[in-house]
Structure formats: structure tokens, C-alpha cells
Structure 1
Amino acid sequence: MFKIRRSEDKDFVTFVLSGRIEEEQLSELQKLLKVELGANPTPIALDLGDVKLVDREAIKFFAVCEAHGVVIKNCPSYVREWIETGRGSNEP
């Protein structure tokens, strides 16, 4: 089961993600980020500490988020490795 919890402090608006993140869940997360970016200049972070499984599309999404200044916190090492590997890929 995929869950998103929003928290805010003086430094970041953080979305704590938990469960499995697959392509089907990304549209919901994209909408939340778009609303947050439009409404608030506070930097955004994604906390992946409770993420159990991600698919390829989620990895691409996280790489794009980072490229646009979103901070990824508590990223599992295997996800970090895949994000870094995916950045060098020429695949769409």
C-alpha cells in the first residue's frame, strides 16, 4: 500500500512516502508537488525511509525531482544507486 504524508518545518515541506511506489502512484505525487511548488516557495523534500519497493518509472521520477531541486531524504541505498545509474542513461 502506498501512502503520502505531508509535514512542514522552517526548512522544508516534506512528503514522507511509504510502501510500494509504482508508475500508477506517480500521477498523485506529481499533482501534490505541482500544487506545493505553485503555492509555496519553501524547498521540497521527499523522505523515502519507509519505501519498500520502487519501479523503473519511480526511479526516473526521483531523478527528475532531484534535477529540479527536490531533496531526497532517507533514500535506501539501492534506490540511490539506481537513481545515479539512471541519470547516465540515454533511454527515454
Structure 2
Amino acid sequence: MSFGDIFSKYKMDLVNNVDIFGYEVLNVKGRKTKTGKNMAFVKVRDNKSVHDLVIFNDRYKDIKAHNVYIMKVRNNRIFDFTEAKLA
């Protein structure tokens, strides 16, 4: 079984690899910004490499390690996400 097989059981039809990506979350580290707002560093991987992303809102608490998500990302910043559904 290859790493790419992880994604084969999910509905990934929204993924365009331009600004919407499919990722497996490796870990989430919550932090506070300088102004006291919630944020998190999110380490993810796709079928090619590992990426370090950031999210600047409370929704990071909904991201769980070892789950697969479809994420809207620009410049390593997560703007929106949804958990991938099984096909």
C-alpha cells in the first residue's frame, strides 16, 4: 500500500491542487498571537511532501491529527477546511 492509497477511499473531487488541497493532518499546535487571538500551526502531508500551515481562528480546534481534510490554502495559510468524506 502506498501513501497515495490513503486518499483513494475519500471523495476528493473538490481538490484542484491550486488553492484547494487534500491533506492528512500530522499534528496541530495551538498558540496565541501577539494580540491574544487564537491561532495554530498545522503540520500536514499530501502524497508528495510534508507542509507547515497556519490558521488564525478558533476553528483550528476542529482539526484533529490523523484525519484527512480538504483545505482552502493560500501562502501556507488555511482559510477554510472540511473533513474529507469516505467515498
TM bracket, shorter-chain basis: under 0.3
| TM norm structure 1 | 0.26
Determine which structure has greater relative contact order: mean sequence separation of CA pairs < 8 Å that are 6+ residues apart, divided by chain length: 2
Q: Which of the two has greater helix per residue?
A: 1
> Normalising by structure 2, what TM-score?
0.27
